[in-house]
């Protein structure tokens, strides 16, 4: 059987694993797993936000997101509350303790970002951005009209 080389997917998969390994220790220090750490960091930048937005951004199944949020609520890191504008919408926000944890995790992310950036010139960064844009376009679900053809 011929071995297939994935010029884009294999390095992205490896980088994703490496980032996860890099974040294990800071997340463990915060008392959370890496997926929960990503969620805390996201909420620090974009929260409070509806659970539906978290599902869209992270791609978790609703049951997985619910379990994760339950654990974070139990640890006192996040709180859920109805949106005052639409009581059907549940917002997730960081607590004071969650903000402190997210800030410590953010320090690790900023350090990683700076370390990566220091190894690249502007041309390489632009190439990376172009690659990520191409991946986004290639993986975007087809428009409704394309599905009907």
Tokens of 108: 């690790």
**In 30-95, which ranges are continuous DSSP H helix?**
34-46, 51-58, 62-74
Domains of the chain as residue ranges with CATH: 21-140 (1.10.10.10)
The 10s digit of each residue's pLDDT in 33-91 is 999 999 999 999 999 999 999 999 998 999 999 999 999 999 999 999 998 888 889 99
pLDDT at 141: 83
Nearest C-alpha neighbor of 73 from the set 43, 46, 53? 43
- Quick: pLDDT tens for 13-24: 999 999 999 999
pTM: 0.79
Does residue 78 contact residue 92 with C-beta atoms inside 8 Å? yes
| In contact, 80 and 69? CB cutoff 8 Å | yes
């Amino acid at each position: 059987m011929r071995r297939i080389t994935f010029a884009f997917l294999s390095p992205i998969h490896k980088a994703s694993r490496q980032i996860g390994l890099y974040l294990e220790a800071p997340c463990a220090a915060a008392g959370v797993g890496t997926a929960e750490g990503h969620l805390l960091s996201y909420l620090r930048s974009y929260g409070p936000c509806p659970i539906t937005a978290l599902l869209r951004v992270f791609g978790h199944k609703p049951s997985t997101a619910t379990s994760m949020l339950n654990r974070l609520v139990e640890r006192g890191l996040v709180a859920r509350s109805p949106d005052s504008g639409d009581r059907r919408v549940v917002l997730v926000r960081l607590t004071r303790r969650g903000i402190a944890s997210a800030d410590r995790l953010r320090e690790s992310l900023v350090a990683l970002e700076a370390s990566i950036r220091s190894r690249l010139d502007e041309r390489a960064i632009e190439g990376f951005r172009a690659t990520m844009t191409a991946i986004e376009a290639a993986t975007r679900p087809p428009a409704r009209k394309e599905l009907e053809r």
